[in-house]
Amino acid sequence: MTVYTRHPNRGLAWFAKGLAAGLAVAAIGAPLAAQAASAGKSFVDDFDRLDPSRWYISDGWANGDHQNCTWSKKQASVEDGRLKLGFVKEKTKDRDYACGEVQTFKRFGYGTFEARMKAVAGSGLNTGFFSFIGPVHKQPHDEIDFEVLGKEPSKVQINRFVDGKSLGPAKLVDVPGDADKDFHDYAFVWQKDRIAWYVDGKLVGEVTDPDKLPSHPAKIYLSIWGSDTLTSWMGAFADPGQPIAAEVERVSFTAEGDKCQFPDSIVCKTQSQ
């Protein structure tokens, strides 16, 4: 297993994707107790500003040798009601590129996670919306993913990790009209006995084995990054030739049992069924 140097506030989002054989970590408490201790409550963020009480901007490090960019606070900004996460050719520390990521300070338990996002195209690039908690937080590695691989922006990859192991379904699902051409709604509903992934309101993946589901409250991440080495997964990296940015119009979390918070929420659809 490759060892990575990580900022103490940073969860390594895809830490075990095809690389980690397992993680020796100490879990604290039972899953239900951990859920009860989750501090995150329902919210909707339409990005009229980048709320410093909600979002931590990753800055000054990279996740490992696989990543060809350094996280930079200059690559996370809000303009015209949209969060912009940039990727630009800029020598930063030992990397030739700078890239953007934000993560919540709080951790969130069972409920519905949603983002309205426009990804970027380009081989070797990854636009992500996911939940993550891991050893850097003194917790097992649990994760639920949406990742747009820029080599094939007509699709988005969904996946989940439990205690550092990818349990799937690690599959690509269609994004109508392409993830980089317009904004699309990505949502996953996380319950004790189920995870369901939705794209533009359509169910695209589901897991119902309670013994193979994440159980630890997690932080919410939004990011864009590149790689020169993960070619089998992300494709050969191609310099975009100009600054590019993923954009996010809205992110929300609706705690399990709470009411629908906005008309386009998947929670409205599922509560009316």
Is the Cα dihedral 78, 268, 177, 66 positive or negative?
positive
Tally Cβ neighbours within 10 Å of residue 63. Answer: 24
Clarify whether 147 is annotated catalytic. yes
Residue pair 175/161 in contact by the 8 Å Cβ criterion: no
Query: Residue 27 to residues 13, 95, 127: CA-CA distances in angstroms?
Result: 18, 34, 29
Catalytic residue among 114, 147, 247, 256: 147
Q: Look up 206 and say whether it is catalytic.
A: no
- The residue type found at 99 is C
Residue 5, Cβ density class (10 Å: 0-12 exposed, 13-18 middle, ≥19 buried): exposed
- Token look-up 């909707």 returns 44
Q: Identify the active-site residue in 79, 143, 206, 249.
A: 143
Q: Specify whether the CB–CB gap between 245 and 72 falls below 8 A.
A: no
The DSSP output letter for 233 is H
- Give me the residues paired with residue 57 across strands: 102
Neighbour-count burial for 93-130, b at 16+ CB within 10 Å, e otherwise:
eebebbbbbbbbebbbbbbbbbbbbbbbbbbbbbbbbb
CA pair distance 188, 108, nearest whole angstrom: 13
What count of residues does the chain have? 273
The token duo for 123 is 């081989």
CA dist 136 and 61 (Å) reads: 14
- Known catalytic residues? 143, 147
